[in-house]
Amino acid sequence: MSDRLPGFSTLAVHAGAQPDPTTGARATPIYQTTSFVFNDADHAASLFGLQSFGNIYTRIGNPTNAVLEERVAALEGGTAALAVASGHAAQVVVMQQLLQPGDEFIAARKLYGGSINQFTHSFKSFGWNVVWADPDDIASFERAVTPRTKAIFVESIANPGGSITDIEAISTVARKAGVPLIVDNTLATPYLIKPIDHGADIVVHSLTKFLGGHGNSIGGVIVDAGTFDWSKDGKYPMLSEPRPEYHGIKLHETFGNFAFAIACRVLGLRDLGPALSPFNAFLILTGIETLPLRMQKHCDNAKAIAEFLSGHSAVASVSYAGLAGDRYNQLARKYAPKGAGAVFTFSLKGGYDAGVSLVSKLTLFSHLANVGDTRSLVIHPASTTHSQLDDAAKVKSGAGPDVVRLSIGIEDKEDLIADLDQALGA
Amino acid sequence: MNHDAYPDNYIRGILNSVKSIAMVGASPVNVRPSYFAFKYLAQRGYDMIPVNPGHIGKELLGKPFVASLHDIGRPVDMIDIFRNSSHIMPVVEEALKLDPLPKVIWMQLGARDDAAAEKAEAAGIKVVMNRCPKIEYGRLSSEISWMGVNSRTLSSKRPPAPTQGMQLSLNRMSVGGGNTAAADRAAKNKTEQS
């Protein structure tokens, strides 16, 4: 019974799960129920008042989802986590705890197109103002800090170009500014990069991608690193001030180093409502059990394909941090030594038309708007995921008109290379 | 004891062995953390004694308040101090005058006084600082996992079926040394800055 930190693969299989106490079921049961009975009126009152741990209603928490939450928290090295309906829901719930109307947050310009869209347009209607900075220029984050800045948001491996973010450098800026650093770790997963080890205070994921890994369930998660002092200067009243909806409880004072995850649950999930279905949680949990095996195969395949493409006469350039000559290769060696992920872009000498032709000729790669599936995927970001951006913003986010994005699956790499070769050659 | 990172076995040993807990600074106000912790620990079977000179004549969940540790008038296993760091030393000094001495002095989440801890440890008393016994009980029994909290324990054994009051076993394998490394570092940095 000594304290021994198990390896990543052991946590991926075991963390958060145990045999079901009533039935002995070894796989995590799908608790497909909306509600949970109370023992008595006093029990109900203490659950509603946050005085007891327990289940009330699946919009606020569910035992299947709780296993998923603890597992992701364990894999990321966080104190707690909250599962939500999607990666986008995770971002809304996080920002609701941090920003009041009129506040600002700084975000890296290189982000998933859907996040750029959410931050630019939807968040504006909440009075949350995004200020963009360049992840390749750390000083641009420092310059963007104002007294209204409440958070900094980056992706560990940025979509779509697969560039690697210098999380430690940006966490230094965040610490100096007295704001939490939020890292979207979707494309890396904790198997490749553990942002909390590099100074992240909050980690978010789209579980839809590599964590779930099979392209069958939408989900998101928020991980609390337990590192930020929410009560230091009154900048985060959702955590430091008495909450009228809970009889004046102060969440940080009551829940200590997992107060942020609790705030996301009892203020965010409860009131905004983006609950994850327990069935999706079950599928994602099953996916996570094989994350280390899949992720290594994804990365090994991606590197082989990036090398093949960079030697192909029809290809103008390949943007993959795992390649020796790539501008992000040094950062990849530091942050993601096991592999630089499996999502990257390349551009074709034939420009936009060649990209469209390639996509139509591929037979194994599926043309769709997702990444992180067992299957290999291809998309033309300029006309799809990043289509709502103007041309300058497309180029800045790594999604210019000649760019094709690949998400490499876990098929045999020889078959993927043959498919690309025939589609590029003809 | 390294007060920046407690091994789970240390905390588990304390929670498995103490029977009576005097809570200094216990509040009868039902939204205060001390009230939650008092109620939770009482439901888990601990013999709880509320200590608060401001509430003499009142009861907390059926237990009469006492004004000071001295007034308890019987041996207690653990003193749980629900006061700010600046108010810890006088309570520890008072505890050191008890006969027999308590086995454990526990300072709540956010409270830490290394000099007071040293004094208590010199007298053979185990010390825990900046932790909540309710959270630690919930964590080591995995009950807190229902809130998505990382219990940092694993088990392939079927746990006892939950009943009213959740009497769960604390005997799960520990994996993380009580707290996450990042959270420990943050707590340490905060201590050094203050």
Q: How does pLDDT run across B78-91, given as a tens digit for each residue?
A: 999 999 999 999 99
Residue B31 at interface with chain A, using a CB cutoff of 8 Å: yes
Q: Two tokens at B56?
A: 């003499």
Sorting pLDDT into bands at 50, 70 and 90, what band is B163?
low
Q: What pLDDT, on a 0 to 100 scale, did the predictor assign at position A300?
A: 98
Average pLDDT over residues A4-25: 93
Q: Please tell me the class of the A291-425 domain.
A: alpha beta
Q: Do B183 and A227 touch (CB under 8 A)?
A: yes
For residue A1, pLDDT beyond 50:
no
pLDDT for residue A71 is more than 70: yes
Single out the residue of A324, A325, A305 nearest to residue A315, CA to CA. A305
- Give the residue-averaged pLDDT of A80-85: 98
The candidate with the shortest Cα–Cα distance to A68, out of A210, A328, A276, is A276
Question: Could you report the per-residue pLDDT of B124-157, keeping only the tens digit for each?
Answer: 999 999 999 999 999 888 888 888 999 988 989 8
pLDDT digits (tens, 9 = 90+) for B80-129: 999 999 999 999 999 999 999 999 999 998 899 999 999 999 999 999 99
Token duo for residue A216: 């069958």
Q: How confident is the model at residue A397 (pLDDT cuts 50, 70, 90)?
A: confident
Indicate the pLDDT class of residue B169, thresholds 50, 70 and 90. Answer: low
Query: Which long-range contacts link B33-38 to residues 24+ away (Cβ below 8 Å)?
Result: B33/A253, B33/A254, B33/B82, B33/B108, B33/B109, B33/B132, B34/B82, B34/B108, B35/A51, B35/B60, B36/A50, B36/A51, B36/A254, B36/B134, B37/B80, B37/B82, B37/B108, B37/B132, B37/B133, B37/B134
A123 or B185, higher pLDDT: A123
Residue A180 contacts B, CB cutoff 8 Å: no
Q: Which residues contact A398 (CB under 8 A, 6 or more apart)?
A: A110, A158, A160, A161, A163, A319, A345
Interfacial A residues in 240-259 facing B (CB < 8 Å): 242, 246-249, 253-258
Class of domain A8-287: alpha beta
Residues of chain A with CATH 3.90.1150.10: 291-425
- What is the mean predicted confidence (pLDDT) over A66-73? 98
- Closest Cβ–Cβ partner in A66, A242, A256 for B135: A256
Length of chain B: 194
Share of chain A above pLDDT 90, in %: 82
Phi/psi of residue B46, nearest 5 degrees = -75, 145
Every domain range in chain A assigned CATH 3.40.640.10: 8-287
Q: In this complex, how many residue pairs, one in chain A and one in chain B, have their CB atoms less than 8 Å apart?
A: 158
- Give A339's DSSP letter: -
- Report chain A residues whose CB lies below 8 A from the CB of B108: none
- Confidence check: pLDDT of B2 > 70: yes
Comparing CB atoms, the residue among A2, A3, A79 nearest residue B183 is: A79
**Tokens representing residue B172 in the block:** 């799960």
**Cβ–Cβ contacts within 10 Å for residue B178, how many?**
22
pLDDT band at A25 (very low <50, low <70, confident <90, very high): very high
Residue of chain B whose Cα is closest to the Cα of A52: B40
Task: Write the pLDDT tens digit of every residue in A101-157.
Answer: 999 999 999 998 899 999 999 999 999 999 999 999 999 999 999 999 999 999 999
Residues in chain A: 426
Distances (CA, A) of B187 to A226, A257, B3, B180: 9, 9, 10, 11
Using an 8 Å CB-CB cutoff, list chain B residues near A6.
154, 175
Q: What are phi and psi of A366, to 5 degrees?
A: -95, 135
What is the per-residue pLDDT for B162?
Answer: 63
- Give the strand pairing for A181-184 and A149-155: parallel
Range 47-86 of B in CB contact (< 8 A) with A = none
Q: Tell me: the pLDDT tens digits for A362-390?
A: 999 999 989 999 999 999 887 777 777 78
* DSSP label at residue A135: T
pLDDT given at position B178: 62
Q: Which of residues 40-99 of A touch B (CB under 8 A)?
A: 40, 43, 46, 49-55, 61, 63, 65-67, 69-70, 73-74, 77-83
Collect all residues of chain A within an 8 Å Cβ-Cβ radius of residue B30.
49, 51, 247
- ipTM comes to 0.86
pLDDT digits (tens, 9 = 90+) for A218-269: 999 999 999 999 999 999 999 999 999 888 899 998 899 999 999 999 999 9
Q: CB contact, 8 Å: A360 with chain B?
A: no
Residue from the list A6, A225, A261 with its beta carbon closest to the beta carbon of B182: A225
Q: Is residue A423's pLDDT more than 60?
A: yes
Q: Do A247 and B31 touch (CB under 8 A)?
A: yes
What pLDDT, on the 0 to 100 scale, is given for residue B165? 46
Q: Look over chain A and give the mean of its residue pLDDT values, rounded to a whole number.
A: 94
* CA separation for the pair A398, A324 (Å, rounded): 20
The rounded distance, in Å, linking the Cα atoms of B40 and A117 is 45
